[in-house]
Amino acid sequence: MIRPILRFGDEFLHQAASPVEEITPEIQRLVDDMVETMYAAPGIGLAAPQVGVPLRIFVADVSGGHGHGELLTFINPEFMERGGTQREDEGCLSVPGFNASVMRSSRAVLKGLTRDGRELVVEGSGLLARCFEHEMDHLDGTLFVDRLRGLQKDLIVRKIRKLTRSGKW
């Protein structure tokens, strides 16, 4: 089932998510819904808080669904290592139509559980490392816009406020 994606301005997106206590059939259905929602959007990552569920879960596929076996599910993820830096344009399904240059690690190792409860450790570099940090930010109540400063942030926030006032956001 495709779920609605919350947008910037929704206070729920700024709350830290809680750990998953047990992987139940409901959690597995949530993961399936998140995958379907991410691909339909289309996007390369989606965190549970973006669909209104305050749990530490995200799905990612930097191929956008075009690569076989590239879909990753992380439940209760945590960083094991991070290093290097990269600055690239970044977007977000909760901030549609807006991109900005954000500094991220160029390498990240993440550990968590799969939808079946197996431990998973993945090392990502480049886009995958960026995706990991972006989705982990969502689990901590942070959007990429929150990482911006000055004019770059002001322009995006002003445009969103204008869209909100006109009923287009």
2-30 residue pLDDT tens: 999 999 999 999 999 999 999 999 999 99
- Domain count of the fold of the chain: 1
**Active-site residue, selected from the candidate residues 26, 90, 119, 135:** 135
Assess if residue 16 is contained within a domain.
Answer: yes
Predicted local distance difference test score (pLDDT) of residue 66:
85
pTM (whole model) above 0.75: yes
Predicted local distance difference test score (pLDDT) of residue 49:
98
Assess if residue 1 is contained within a domain.
Answer: no
Predicted local distance difference test score (pLDDT) of residue 56:
98
The verdict on whether 36 is a catalytic residue reads no
Predicted local distance difference test score (pLDDT) of residue 69:
77
Assess if residue 161 is contained within a domain.
Answer: yes
Assess if residue 93 is contained within a domain.
Answer: yes
Its domain, for residue 103, covers 11-165
Report how far residue 102's alpha carbon sits from residue 41's, in angstroms, rounded to the nearest whole number: 22
Structure tokens at 161: 């406020």
What are the backbone dihedrals phi and psi of residue 10, each rounded to the nearest 5 degrees, phi first? -80, 120
At 141, which CATH number? 3.90.45.10
Report how far residue 155's alpha carbon sits from residue 141's, in angstroms, rounded to the nearest whole number: 21
pLDDT tens digits, residue range 25-84?
999 999 999 999 999 999 999 999 999 999 999 999 999 888 877 999 999 999 999 999
Assess if residue 20 is contained within a domain.
Answer: yes
At 162 the three-state DSSP class reads: helix
Structure tokens at 118: 């197996």
pLDDT tens digits, residue range 84-143?
999 999 999 999 999 999 999 999 999 999 999 999 999 999 999 999 999 999 999 999
Assess if residue 81 is contained within a domain.
Answer: yes
Assess if residue 68 is contained within a domain.
Answer: yes
Predicted local distance difference test score (pLDDT) of residue 119:
98
Predicted local distance difference test score (pLDDT) of residue 65:
85
Predicted local distance difference test score (pLDDT) of residue 83:
97
